[in-house]
């Protein structure tokens, strides 16, 4: 069992089986210099997992240098990683040390590796194979004394099939794969996570808050598409809006509080319709609302993928697409 108190401010926080299994994997791989490929949805804590592995490793006293490969223009990424010599290209007024050199003796974390261009993939593969590199515009071979941890939210195996990611680089990175579970798969960790986030907020000078049982039930029933990052932002916002008091369902964003209420109403619908209300009912509108709620629920369960939601609802995909247009609902139309 992971001790929440001992890992406050780090990752993972919680006592779910998913977190315990993740902690075991991190401790197992931390003692070696093996390359690790961390996979998971955006906002689930991939960089925190990388930092945890680094801290537990023999390189823990060395630098931890993160690089977001998807946020740096491809024409600048080579210089960012390997550095450049003065005059190597227009604008290179001075020599610059790259991230590989900055991470010497420590860990280089390549985030969003799936967004790296094919030409850069070739250059990275060479460094992983030979453990040497050259600065842009330079000829001196430099030793890469770094451990590589990479992360992506993309399905790299699919990108390999689509020829968008090199197969040889994938195998070089995928020595020890770790999957970080999304928050919806470990909602039992919500109380520990919220406690940790509130405590960090207090340390940063924000007011303390608590959550009522009803509010916590709403949070547990939510799908958390933004994962832990979304939860972190919500706790920070609520600490400002509800300083020093208990957060109620009415304080939660409509996407969380109202959706839970709608789901409860849908569950009660058959009992409510045992008798028509004295004032009558607009049957078409009532059934339309139920249909809309069921479609939303199916989309939540399938992360917004229309083809999968259609199968849950026993509908043709084209029929569900028409209903999405009818009710002005948003979803990922990809299969």
How confident is the model over 183-196, as pLDDT tens digits?
Answer: 999 999 999 999 99
Note the pLDDT of residue 326.
87
Least confident of 4-13, 99-108, 236-245, 302-311: 4-13
Whether the per-residue pLDDT at 2 is higher than 80: the answer is no
Whether the per-residue pLDDT at 47 is higher than 80: the answer is yes
Summarised one tens digit per residue, pLDDT across range 49-64 is 999 999 999 999 999 9
**Domain 184-272, CATH class in plain words:** mainly alpha
Least confident of 46-55, 205-214, 300-309: 300-309
**Domain 275-335, CATH class in plain words:** mainly alpha
Write down the mean pLDDT value for the chain: 87
Note the pLDDT of residue 10.
59
Note the pLDDT of residue 276.
65
273-301 mean pLDDT: 77
Residue extents of the structural domains in the chain: 17-181, 184-272, 275-335
17-181 is a CATH 3.40.50.300 domain:
yes
3-state per-residue secondary structure call for the chain: CCCCCCCCCCCCCCCCHHHHHHHHHHHHHHCCCCCEEEECCCCCCHHHHHHHHHHHCCCCCCCEEEEECCCCCHHHHHHHHHEECCCCCCCCCCCEECHHHHCCCCEEEEECHHHCCHHHHHHHHHHHHHCEECCECCCCCEECCCEEEEEECCCHHHHHHCCCCCHHHHHHHCCEEEECCCHHHCHHHHHHHHHHHHHHHHHCCCCCCEECHHHHHHHHHCCCCCHHHHHHHHHHHHHHHCCCCEECHHHCCHHHHHHHHHHHHHHHHHHHCCCCCCCCCCHHHHHHHHHHHHHHHHHHHCCCEHHHHHHHCCCCHHHHHHHHHHHCCCCECCC
Summarised one tens digit per residue, pLDDT across range 67-103 is 999 899 887 899 999 988 887 787 778 888 899 999 9
């Amino acid at each position: 069992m992971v001790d929440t108190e001992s890992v406050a401010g780090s990752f993972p926080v919680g006592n779910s089986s998913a977190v315990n299994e993740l902690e075991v994997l991190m401790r197992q791989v931390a003692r070696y210099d093996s390359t690790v490929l961390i996979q998971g949805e955006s906002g689930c804590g991939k960089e925190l997992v990388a930092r945890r592995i680094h801290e537990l490793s023999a390189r823990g006293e060395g630098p931890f240098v993160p690089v977001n490969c998807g946020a740096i223009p491809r024409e600048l990424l080579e210089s960012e990683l390997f550095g450049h010599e003065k005059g190597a290209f227009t604008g290179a007024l001075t020599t610059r040390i790259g991230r590989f050199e900055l991470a010497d003796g420590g860990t280089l974390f390549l985030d969003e590796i799936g967004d790296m261009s094919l030409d850069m993939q070739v250059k990275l593969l060479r460094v992983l194979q030979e453990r040497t590199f050259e600065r842009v515009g330079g000829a001196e071979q430099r030793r890469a004394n770094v451990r590589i941890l990479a992360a992506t939210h993309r399905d790299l195996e699919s990108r390999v099939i689509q020829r968008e990611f090199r197969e040889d680089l994938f195998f070089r990175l995928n020595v020890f794969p770790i999957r970080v579970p999304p928050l919806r798969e470990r909602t039992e960790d919500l109380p520990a996570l919220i406690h940790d986030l509130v405590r960090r907020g207090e340390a940063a000078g924000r007011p303390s808050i608590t959550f009522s049982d009803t509010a916590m039930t709403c949070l547990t029933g939510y799908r958390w598409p933004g994962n832990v990052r979304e939860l972190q932002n919500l706790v920070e916002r609520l600490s400002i809006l509800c300083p020093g008091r208990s957060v109620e369902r009415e304080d939660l964003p409509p996407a969380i509080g109202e959706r839970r209420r709608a789901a409860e109403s849908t569950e009660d619908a058959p009992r409510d319709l045992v008798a028509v209300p004295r004032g009558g009912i607009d049957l078409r509108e009532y059934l339309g609302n139920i249909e809309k709620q069921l479609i939303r629920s199916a989309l939540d369960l399938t992360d917004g993928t229309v083809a999968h939601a259609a199968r849950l609802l026993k509908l043709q995909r084209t029929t569900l697409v028409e209903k999405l247009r009818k009710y002005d609902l948003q979803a990922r139309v990809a299969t």
